Amino acid sequence: MTNSDSRLAKNTDFTIAYFSAEIGISSQLPTYSGGLGVLAGDHIKSSADAGLNMCAVTLLYKEGYFKQRIDEEGNQSETFPRFDPYPMLKKLPVMFTLKLRNRDVWIQAFEYRFKGITGHEIPIYFLDTDVADNFHDDRVITLRLYSGDKDHRILQEAILGFGGIQLLEKLGINGSIETYHMNEGHCSFLTLGLLDKFNNNEEIVRQHCHFTTHTPVEAGHDHFAKKRCDKLLHNLLPDNLNLPSLVQNSRWHMTELGLYFSRSANGVSKLHGGVAQEQFPEFNIGAITNGVYHPYWVGKEFRELYTKYFPDWKENPQQLLNIDEIPDKELLYMHQSHKHFLLGYANSQTGKALSEDVLTLGFARRAAEYKRARLIFHDLERLIEISEGKLQIVFAGKAHPNDRGGKQIIQNIVEDANRLFGKVKVVFLENYNMWLGKLITSGVDVWVNTPLRPNEASGTSGMKAALNGIPNLSILDGWWAEACRHGENGWAIGNPDKADDERDAASLYNTLEKEVIPAYYSDHDIWLNLMRESIKTSVQYTAHRMIQDYNERYYSKK
C-alpha cells in the first residue's frame, strides 16, 4: 500500500457527504460562480471547525468560471484561463467509468483537504473527465462551470450525482454515511445512484438524504426532458418512478427528484422556507438561515482587532457580542483602513479618484434581473439632488456569458455611471470573486441590496458586510427580513407587501436623504452604534451558527 492508500483507508468513518455543483474555497480555486458556491465553501469550512465527519463532492472545472472584462461602454467580455490544479489539489489513485452517450467515460478525482481551526480536516473530492483516454467531447464535460446547453448540463450532473456515489464507493467511504446532503438540485442524480446501490429500496434511500433548496426563481430549478436523459444516460435511469413531473410532463425536475428522495429539506431563510413550502406543497420544507464563515470574511484589520480583544473569536464568535469593549477610535480607524484598501484598489483600476471622506455605498452581486441593481438609478435627478457630493458608489458583479439580459444590466449601470459623471462618482470593478468580495464587503460604508421580494432567498454578502461593522440598507428580503432593526443595525426600505420599482426607489432615496446621510456626516455616536449593532447582528449569521442548526436538526438520523 502506498502512503495515500493507507490514508484513504483510514477515512472510512464519514457520516455526512455534502454534494454541490460548485464549491468556493478561495479565489485561487475558481470552481464557483457565486453565492451558491461560496455558501457551500463556507458550509464545509465551518463543518471542519465543528469537527463534523464530513466529506464533500463537486466537479473540477479546469477553466473555472470566467475572468470578466468590461469596456468603457459597459460591454462584458470573458476569458477562460486554465488553472493548474496540482499545487493545491492532489490527484487520487482512483479511476472509474460511467456510461454516458453509450460509451465509457473515464473519471478521475482530485482531493483538497480543508483544515479547520482545530486541525480537523474535511476532504473535498473534485471529479474530472479531462482524462487522456477520453474522447474530446467527454474531456470537456467538466471543463467549465454552467457552460453549454441542456445536454451538457445533464452530463455534468450525471458525473456529479452518479459519479460522486461511485467515487465514494471506490474510496470505500460510503458504508458509514448517514446523510447525503444535496446542495440544490444539481446533485439530485445521486439519489438514483443510491437507489441502485440499495436495490431499488426507495425508503432506504430516503432515510439517507437531506435536501437544501436555494432559490424561488424558476430558472434556478433544472428540469430535463425525459427523452434527452434517456438518450444520454439510458442505463442509469430507473423507469418506474412515481414522480409527478416525470409521469405528467415527461421530464426530470431536479428539485422535485431531490425532495422526493429526502427525509428532510430546508430553505435558506425563514421567509424563503415559507416560499419554498408553497412552491413544493407535497413535501415538508423547513428553514435554516444561511451564514458566512466569519474567520474568512472579516477583513485583515478587523481580524487583528478582534484577536486583540477576543482571542477566541474564531472558535466562539459569540465573543463579538462584546464589541462595545472596543473603543470608538480603534473601531473607526480599522474601518477607515479597510476603506483605504478598497478605494486605493478602485482608484488604481478606474482612475475615478473616489474620496475616503465620502459616504461610500456598495453593491456587488451577480447581474440577475430580480436583484434590481439599477434601482438606485431609477431617478438620476433625484439621486444627484440628495447626493450633493456626499455619496459615491462601488459596483461589481458578473453576468453569465450566455445571459444577454444580465450583460445588458451591466451595460446600463456603466451608462448611468457615465451620465452621472461630475455629479456622483460611480465605479464598476471588474471580475467579482471572493477576493474582491471581501475587499468590498469590508471597505464600503453602507451595503445596499434592492431585490424584488421574495426572490432573494437569503443573500449572504450583507452578512459579510455586517461582520465588518457595515450597516445594511436593504429591502426586507431573505436574511434581512429577520435581521433588520431599522435605525439600529441598518435600514429597511421598500414596501414588504408589494414590490414596486417606483415606490421602492423613492423609499431608498428618502432613507438615504433623511437617515443615512445625516447619520454618517453629523452624528458620530449614531454611526458607531450602527457599526456595533451590525457586528452583534452578524453573530447570528455566521456559518458557525448555521452548522450547529444543520447538525442538530438534519444531520442526525431520526
Ligand X SMILES: *Cc1c(COP(=O)(O)O)cnc(C)c1O
Residue 125, C-alpha cell as written in the block: 473530492
- Residues forming contacts to ligand X in the complex (CB under 6 A) are 34-35, 38, 365, 432-434, 437, 459-461, 464
C-beta closer to ligand X: residue 252 or 297: 297
Closest approach, Cβ 442 to ligand X, in A, equals: 11
The angle at the Cα of 170, spanning 165 to 171, to the nearest 5 degrees, equals 100
Closest approach, Cβ 436 to ligand X, in A, equals: 7
Backbone φ and ψ for 389, nearest 5 degrees, come out as 75, 5
Closest approach, Cβ 298 to ligand X, in A, equals: 13
Residue 338, C-alpha cell as written in the block: 479597510
Residue 91, C-alpha cell as written in the block: 490527484
Closest approach, Cβ 459 to ligand X, in A, equals: 4
Closest approach, Cβ 440 to ligand X, in A, equals: 9
C-beta closer to ligand X: residue 105 or 396: 396
The angle at the Cα of 504, spanning 380 to 365, to the nearest 5 degrees, equals 80
Q: Render the burial of 27-43: b for 16+ CB within 10 Å, e for the rest.
A: eebbbbbbbbbbbbbbb
C-beta closer to ligand X: residue 114 or 261: 114
Classify the C-alpha dihedral 13-18-23-24 as positive or negative.
Answer: negative
Closest approach, Cβ 289 to ligand X, in A, equals: 12
Closest approach, Cβ 434 to ligand X, in A, equals: 5
How many whole angstroms separate alpha carbon 476 and alpha carbon 179? 33
How many whole angstroms separate alpha carbon 188 and alpha carbon 210? 10
C-beta closer to ligand X: residue 264 or 450: 450
* Nearest position to ligand X, beta carbon: 437
Which string of DSSP letters, residue by residue, matches 326-377?
S-HHHHHHHHHHHHHHHHHHHHHHH-----TTSEEEEEE----GGG-GGGGG
C-beta closer to ligand X: residue 258 or 451: 451
C-beta closer to ligand X: residue 266 or 387: 266
Closest approach, Cβ 522 to ligand X, in A, equals: 30
C-beta closer to ligand X: residue 128 or 504: 504
Residue 426, C-alpha cell as written in the block: 460611480
C-beta closer to ligand X: residue 317 or 459: 459
DSSP 219: G
C-beta closer to ligand X: residue 192 or 535: 535
How many whole angstroms separate alpha carbon 76 and alpha carbon 430? 9
The number of residues in the chain equals: 558
How many whole angstroms separate alpha carbon 290 and alpha carbon 269? 7
Q: What is the number of other CB atoms lying within 10 angstroms of the CB of residue 181?
A: 24
How many whole angstroms separate alpha carbon 66 and alpha carbon 77? 9
Q: Render the burial of 204-234: b for 16+ CB within 10 Å, e for the rest.
A: ebbbbbbbbbbbbeeebbbbbebebbeebbe
Q: With residue 253 as reference, give the H or E element that holds it.
A: strand 251-253
Closest approach, Cβ 99 to ligand X, in A, equals: 35
Closest approach, Cβ 217 to ligand X, in A, equals: 12
C-beta closer to ligand X: residue 123 or 459: 459
